[in-house]
């Protein structure tokens, strides 16, 4: 240990440890690994991917367009599927009028069976809003009606309407939360990093927004929208309304994180390295806060989906002729209707399923990001 | 980085000649001073009430004077909450000082008053002042590879890139005892000691003059602590570094420091060369602190003066000399008048009314210890472990 | 090699002194999703009655887990996989194996409340923030000593006075957060000592404290030990504190006791290369100023990896290739001091000269699972 070089060489050897391969993995890779260990969340994620795929290819999957009326099929019960001669098929249905109480009575007649035709032509649509097509996943021969999940009061196919409705319901969650994330991150970061008066102002504003009951406020905003808006415009405004209140929680979380990072020594080291506030925020704080933002966002999506559903259910959100799960559930507002036509509740099942899956997914994210909380 | 801006600071020589900058009760600074601090204060506001108005302040650092000579290690010691970390950070303006002057003899900019620099000049200055942190976990950004962490100053100042940058990173990692290929790994793969080495590599990146070591070994295991202390000593020799070594472990401080300054509740109470301070303390608090160190010698079990009570809060300090409620030698004057830091011997400053009259006890030198203690293998650094039979 | 006694045989044969707790071949694993970590790999040690055993080692050596395991408080996913923990209370000197008791059963709860107490580095972990200090102490007194509320309060104030609280009546009605760090530590010690335990397990009790406060707390613990006559298991990494505080010292490395001896022998005649290196690596007042400290190469390996042979061999200055990296060394007793044992191949010669243990046994119950 006489010469300096000797010391360094010696200590170089000393400092070396058999570092395991985890050292080469970024935090993201480690988080991904932890996430995939959580089977429940992965299942939730897979179900959600299916949901979104269905929403994306909705017109292809649905046999009928959403406003395909059939006065002969009011409240038609779900059509039973049978396997006849090795094919999926439906039985013919005969409609008779019960003259004693004037209700339609449907009787199935399996002697006349109609096999389902897969990839058969039906109504025209544009696949992914671009490719004109008329091929559908399945169709039944002309003249027959196939209601997988029954029909509503006007004889419209609940299956087709639920699938098409998922487009608005599922997308509004993502878009709404995306707006919340932008608002929340920017305001939260500003609040946490600069502190002082800026922080005070933003935090009091958040408290003000948070202290208001959400649903009435949403309803008030939504009620102010004119009824004759186009579907697209209405969608846009409803999304904004939902995210105006949605960013507050996220803003607080980001602020808390940024405040914590601000006191950490690596921020101090970055300042000593000469980094400006912007640089510190962009290269140190946001990347570190990002995983938390994702978690909070994933938890906020179901709330937004529920928000849209509630507003539409109350007739303040999306309005017919647009279809969303909330709009569909308006049909199930009366207990008497639901009692005899249980299939009208199917959109509610979809809402529950989607919201549950999002929560499972968000739980998985959270555990992966911060296994010790 | 043009020359004008580099020399924009105040003139060091002038400051010296006009005796604008003195220390303690008016002593001039030594010739080779690198950093000098006078009357430095840092008060943190206490906010309360609905409008978060300032209702008081924690006087974390309340007017301290010290200087560091080029190439030396000054230890800044004290118990938790005494303000030593705040003092270190305020001196280089990582925290905005409430009051006080700080002179730094910058090799490029010349002598500058740190408290007057613009943010841009300050960033330039910090290439010459770096810091090593206590917590090896929070001091490295977990999202960045080791190479990226060490490269940060070069990227910020746009000084190196590509091949040259890679080479410099490899060089720095080698200097601190890591391997160049570690650059592609993430901090979580490293042990506490290795992480501390990464932090040291980052601090050395821009060839600083002054390195503030804020409790650099107190979070480390005993065996690793020795490695890092040796490394710091080697680097000091190799790169001609000056250290401000902030620590609470007095054994470590004695080992590594040339001079030591003791803080108590926001004040500097004593400053002297290490030997002098440890063997002839002139302030009762220093004496008590030295007596309290648990010595790793079962035969040196002593039960000397024990301080009653605890360190007062800097938000609500006692009157007079802050140490008087615990001081075994306190007199009436100690309750009323706060003693200033004054020169009591060459290079020895103390803040005590009775510094000269009290005959305070320090730590005995090894040669003064009983022979059987000296004989302990642990007291002889160079003996080898038993060899194989 | 065949004549070398196993750890537990040796311990049984050598143990002549009175002990409070004797741990034999204790193994603890933590089964996490990433893998199994072996926290304790066969710890054997003895805590002498009325004395202080220091347990020293670096982070990850299992010193804290040993303390927790004695009280069956190893947090999940940790499990005790084998070993015995013999406990002899003051009253009945017949040893019982604590591991045979149900973790949360009535016997174990009784032991934890009355016979063995534990204090921690951070007092807030054992003080409940919503009750006053006095409440918590008198609660413990009520549970295990007296049913009288008034008497319990008096006892609590008495204990607070004993631990050096300046104003025990006031402190009695203070909440833990109103006390300073040192005061909280005193409050926790008061609580731990409220029922005059046989053994106090102190897990780094002064590590978070300032030196002056630390000195006071150590003083206090020494005084109370003499008064109550209890044993202390003092878990720490600070060799200075060990030298000042302990009678016996067990040095741990990677889940094993590598050397145990009296404090004099550990500091002035250490045998294990790890102990020697550890002692040399600390800066000592008044000695090796500005010299290079001796270092132990590398750092403690991460707990997931397993080292063959002696776990210290990759860092050992006296490493003997072919022996140390293949065979786990056995416990060897020093011929001239029967309580001093070391786990190192350097002393294999001594072991061979030793008499084969005669199988003297004051053995304690079977292997608990």
pLDDT tens, chain C, 369 aa long: 334 444 444 444 444 568 899 999 999 988 876 678 888 888 988 899 889 999 998 887 888 899 999 999 888 888 899 899 999 888 777 888 888 888 888 888 888 878 898 888 887 777 888 888 888 888 888 877 777 888 888 888 888 887 777 788 888 888 888 887 778 888 888 888 888 888 999 998 888 778 888 888 888 888 888 888 889 999 998 898 999 889 999 999 988 999 999 999 999 889 999 999 888 888 877 765 667 888 888 777 776 777 788 888 888 888 888 888 888 888 888 888 888 889 988 887 776 554 434 333 333 333 333
Domain with CATH 1.10.3720.10 in chain A: 161-369
Helix (H) / strand (E) containing A296: helix A286-313
3-class DSSP assignment, residue B52: coil
Q: What's the distance, Cα to Cα, between the start and end of chain B in Å? A: 65
How many structural domains are present in chain C? Answer: 1
Say what the pTM is.
Answer: 0.79
With CB atoms and an 8 Å threshold, state whether B188 touches A14: no
What ipTM was assigned to the predicted interfaces of this complex? Answer: 0.81
Q: Which of residues 229-248 of C touch A (CB under 8 A)?
A: none
* Window A:6-45, CB contacts with B under 8 Å: 7-8, 11-12, 14-17, 19-20, 22-27, 30
The beta-carbon neighbor of B127 closest among A15, A274, A284 is A274
At A317-340, the pLDDT tens digits run 777 777 888 777 787 777 777 777
Query: What are the structure tokens assigned to A169, written together?
Result: 């319901």
Instruction: Name the residue facing A265 among B138, B177, B205 (closest C-beta).
Output: B138
Q: Which residue of B has its CA nearest to A286?
A: B143
**Of A9, A18, A35, which to mutate for an interface test with C (greatest number of C Cβ within 10 Å)?**
A18
- Cα-only R_g, chain A: 28
Q: Is B334 helix (H, G, I), strand (E, B) or coil?
A: helix
Mean pLDDT, chain B, rounded, equals 83
Domain that holds residue C175: 116-196
Backbone phi and psi for residue A216, each to the nearest 5 degrees, phi listed first: -60, -35
Share of chain A above pLDDT 70, in %: 88
CATH architecture of A161-369: Orthogonal Bundle (1.10)
pLDDT band per the 50, 70, 90 thresholds, residue B389: very low
**A88 with A116: CB under 8 angstroms?**
yes
Residues of chain C found within 8 Å of residue A1, distances taken between Cβ atoms: 292
- pLDDT higher than 60, residue B261: yes
Task: Work out whether the CA dihedral A279, A283, A287, A289 comes out positive or negative.
Answer: negative
A155, A311 in Cβ contact below 8 A? no
Smallest Cα distance from C35 to chain B, Å: 16
Chain A closest CA to C43's CA: distance in Å? 25
Tell me the CATH class for B25-257: alpha beta
Residues in chain C within 8 Å Cβ distance of A30: none
Q: What is the pLDDT of residue B24?
A: 63
**pLDDT per position as a tens digit, A158-193:** 788 888 888 888 888 888 888 888 888 888 888 888
Residues of chain A in contact with residue B50, where contact means CB-CB under 8 angstroms, are none
Residue C150 counted as domain residue = yes
Which residues in B lie closer than 8 A to residue C270 (C-beta atoms)?
A: 377-378
Segments making up each domain of chain B, as ranges: 25-257, 262-296+304-364
Which residue among A4, A273, A288 places its CB closest to the CB of B156?
A273
pLDDT digits (tens, 9 = 90+) for A32-81: 887 887 888 888 888 889 988 888 887 787 777 777 777 776 777 777 77
| Closest-CA distance of chain B to residue C359, Å | 29
Answer yes or no: is pLDDT of B225 > 60: yes
Count CB pairs under 8 A between chains A and B: 112
The per-residue pLDDT for C357 is 41
Among C249, C281, C321, pick the best mutation site for testing chain B contact (most B Cβ within 10 A).
Answer: C281
Nearest CA in chain C to A16: C298
Assigned domain for C171 exists: yes
Q: How many CA atoms lie within 13 A of B332 on its CB side?
A: 0
**Cβ-nearest to B251 among C267, C285, C294:** C285
Tokens for A154? 């006007």
Which of A1, A17, A37 lies nearest to residue C292, judging by beta carbons?
A1
Q: Which of B340, B359, B361 is nearest to B351 (CA)?
A: B340
Tokens found for residue A322:
């647009």
- Residue range B106-128: mean pLDDT, rounded: 86
Residue that has been written with the tokens 């739980």 in this structure? A363
pLDDT, greater one: A288 or B69 = B69
In a domain, C45, yes or no: no
A3 and B CB contact within 8 Å = no
For residue C56, being part of any structural domain is answered with: no
Chain A, window 11-40: residues with a beta carbon less than 8 angstroms from a chain C beta carbon: 11, 13-18, 20, 37
Angstrom CA distances, B133 to B80, B89, C39, C97, stand at: 16, 11, 30, 47
Tens-place pLDDT, residues B131-144: 999 888 889 988 88
Instruction: Tell whether C42 is covered by a domain.
Output: no
**pLDDT for A313:** 81
Distance (Å, whole) CA A270 – CA A279: 9
Lowest mean pLDDT among A13-22, B175-184, C113-122, C309-318: A13-22
- Residue C147 maps to a domain: yes
pLDDT in the model for residue A6: 35
Question: Which pLDDT score is estimated for C369?
Answer: 34
Q: Is residue C152 part of a domain?
A: yes
Flag whether C165 is in a domain. Answer: yes
A167 touches A55 (CB < 8 A): yes
- CA proximity to C259, closest of C245, C276, C242, C235: C276
């Amino acid at each position: 240990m006489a010469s300096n070089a000797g010391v360094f060489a010696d200590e170089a050897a000393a400092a070396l440890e058999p570092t395991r391969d985890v050292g080469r993995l970024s935090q993201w890779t480690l988080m991904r690994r932890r996430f995939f260990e959580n089977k429940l969340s992965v299942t939730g994620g897979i179900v959600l991917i299916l949901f979104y795929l269905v929403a994306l290819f909705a017109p292809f999957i649905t046999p009928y367009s959403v406003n395909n009326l059939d006065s002969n099929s009011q409240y038609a019960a779900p059509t039973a599927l049978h396997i006849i001669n090795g094919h999926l098929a439906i039985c013919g249905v005969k409609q008779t009028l019960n003259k004693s109480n004037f209700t339609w009575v449907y009787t199935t007649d399996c002697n006349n069976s109609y096999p389902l035709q897969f990839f058969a032509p039906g109504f025209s649509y544009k696949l992914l809003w671009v490719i004109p097509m008329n091929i559908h996943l399945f169709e039944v021969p002309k003249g027959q009606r196939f209601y997988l999940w029954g029909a509503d009061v006007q004889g419209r196919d609940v299956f087709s309407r639920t699938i098409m409705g998922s487009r608005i319901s599922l997308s509004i969650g993502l878009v709404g939360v995306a707006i919340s994330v932008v608002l929340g991150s920017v305001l939260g970061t500003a609040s946490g990093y600069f502190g002082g008066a800026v922080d005070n102002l933003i935090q009091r504003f958040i408290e003000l927004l948070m202290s208001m009951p959400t649903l009435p406020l949403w309803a008030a905003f939504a009620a102010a929208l004119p009824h004759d808006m186009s579907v697209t415009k209405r969608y846009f405004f409803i999304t904004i309304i939902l995210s105006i209140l949605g960013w507050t929680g996220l803003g607080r979380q980001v602020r808390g994180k940024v405040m914590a990072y601000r006191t950490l020594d690596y921020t101090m080291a970055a300042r000593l390295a000469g980094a400006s506030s912007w640089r510190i925020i962009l290269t140190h704080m946001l990347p570190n806060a990002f995983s938390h933002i994702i978690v909070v966002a994933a938890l906020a999506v179901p709330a937004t989906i529920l928000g849209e559903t509630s507003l539409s259910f109350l007739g303040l959100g999306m309005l017919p002729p647009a279809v969303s799960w909330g709009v569909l559930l308006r049909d199930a507002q009366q207990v008497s209707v639901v009692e005899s036509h249980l299939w009208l509740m199917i959109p509610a099942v979809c809402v529950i399923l989607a919201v549950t899956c999002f929560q499972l997914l968000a739980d998985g994210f959270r555990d992966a990001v911060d296994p010790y909380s | 980085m043009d020359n004008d801006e580099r020399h924009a600071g105040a003139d060091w020589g002038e400051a010296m000649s006009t005796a604008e900058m003195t220390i303690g009760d008016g002593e001039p600074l030594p010739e080779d001073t690198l950093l000098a601090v006078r009357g430095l204060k840092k008060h943190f506001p206490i906010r309360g009430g609905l409008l978060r108005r300032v209702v008081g302040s924690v006087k974390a650092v309340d007017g301290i004077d010290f200087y560091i000579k080029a190439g030396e290690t000054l230890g800044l010691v004290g118990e938790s909450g005494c303000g030593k970390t705040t003092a270190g950070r305020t001196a280089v303006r990582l925290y905005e000082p409430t009051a006080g002057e700080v002179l730094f003899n910058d090799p490029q900019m010349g002598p500058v008053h740190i408290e007057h620099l613009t943010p841009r000049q300050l960033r330039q200055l910090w290439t010459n002042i770096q810091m090593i942190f206590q917590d090896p976990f929070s001091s490295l950004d977990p999202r960045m590879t080791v190479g990226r962490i060490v490269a940060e100053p070069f990227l910020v100042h746009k000084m190196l890139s590509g091949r040259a940058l890679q080479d410099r990173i490899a060089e720095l990692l080698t200097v601190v005892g890591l391997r160049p290929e570690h650059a592609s790994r993430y901090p979580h793969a490293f042990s506490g000691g290795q992480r501390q080495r990464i932090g040291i590599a980052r601090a050395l990146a821009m060839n600083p003059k002054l390195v503030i070591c804020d409790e650099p070994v107190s979070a480390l295991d005993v065996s690793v602590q020795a490695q890092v202390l040796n490394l710091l000593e080697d680097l000091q020799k190799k790169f001609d570094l000056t250290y401000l070594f902030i620590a609470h472990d007095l054994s470590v401080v004695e080992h590594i420091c040339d001079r030591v300054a003791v803080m108590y509740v926001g004040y500097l109470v004593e400053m002297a060369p290490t030997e002098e301070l440890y063997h002839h303390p002139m302030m009762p608090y220093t004496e008590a602190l030295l007596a309290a160190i648990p010595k790793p010698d079962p035969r040196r079990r002593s039960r000397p003066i024990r301080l009653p009570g605890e360190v007062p809060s800097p938000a609500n300090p006692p009157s007079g000399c802050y140490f008087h409620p615990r001081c075994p030698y306190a007199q009436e004057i100690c309750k009323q008048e706060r003693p200033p830091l004054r020169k009591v011997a060459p290079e020895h400053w103390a803040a005590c009314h009775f510094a000269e009259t009290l005959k305070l006890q320090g730590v005995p030198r090894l040669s003064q210890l009983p022979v059987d203690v000296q004989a302990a293998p642990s007291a002889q650094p160079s003996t080898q472990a038993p060899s194989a039979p | 090699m065949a004549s070398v006694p196993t750890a537990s045989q040796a311990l049984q044969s050598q143990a002549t002194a009175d002990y409070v707790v004797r741990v034999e071949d204790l193994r603890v694993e933590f089964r996490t999703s990433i893998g199994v970590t072996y926290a304790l790999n066969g710890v054997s040690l003895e805590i002498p009655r009325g004395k202080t055993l220091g347990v020293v080692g670096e982070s990850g050596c299992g010193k804290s887990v040993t303390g927790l395991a004695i009280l069956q408080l190893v947090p999940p996913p940790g499990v005790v996989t084998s070993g015995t923990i013999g406990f002899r209370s003051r009253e009945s000197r017949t040893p019982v194996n604590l591991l045979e008791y149900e973790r949360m059963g009535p016997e174990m709860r009784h032991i934890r409340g009355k016979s063995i107490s534990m204090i921690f580095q951070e007092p807030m972990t054992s003080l409940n923030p919503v009750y006053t200090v006095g409440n918590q102490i008198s609660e413990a007194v009520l549970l295990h000593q007296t049913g009288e509320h008034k008497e319990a309060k008096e006892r609590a104030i008495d204990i607070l006075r004993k631990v050096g609280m300046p104003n025990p009546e006031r402190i009695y009605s203070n909440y833990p957060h109103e006390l300073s760090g040192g005061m909280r530590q005193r409050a926790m010690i008061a609580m731990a000592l409220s029922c005059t335990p046989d053994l106090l397990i102190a897990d780094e009790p002064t590590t978070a404290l300032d030196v002056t406060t630390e000195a006071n707390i150590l003083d206090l613990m020494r005084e109370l030990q003499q008064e109550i006559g209890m044993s202390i298991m003092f878990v720490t990494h600070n060799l200075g504190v060990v030298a000042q505080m302990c009678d016996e010292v067990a040095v741990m490395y990677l889940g094993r006791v590598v050397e145990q001896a009296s404090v004099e022998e550990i500091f002035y005649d250490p045998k294990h290369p790890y102990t020697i290196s550890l002692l040399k690596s600390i800066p000592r007042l008044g000695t090796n100023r500005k010299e290079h400290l001796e270092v132990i190469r590398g750092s403690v390996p991460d707990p997931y990896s397993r080292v063959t042979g002696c776990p210290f061999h990759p860092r050992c200055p006296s490493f003997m290739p072919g022996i140390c990296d293949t065979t786990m060394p056995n416990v060897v007793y020093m011929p001239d001091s029967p309580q001093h044992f070391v786990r190192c191949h350097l002393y294999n010669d001594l072991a061979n000269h030793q008499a084969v243990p005669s199988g003297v046994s004051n053995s304690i119950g079977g292997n608990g699972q």
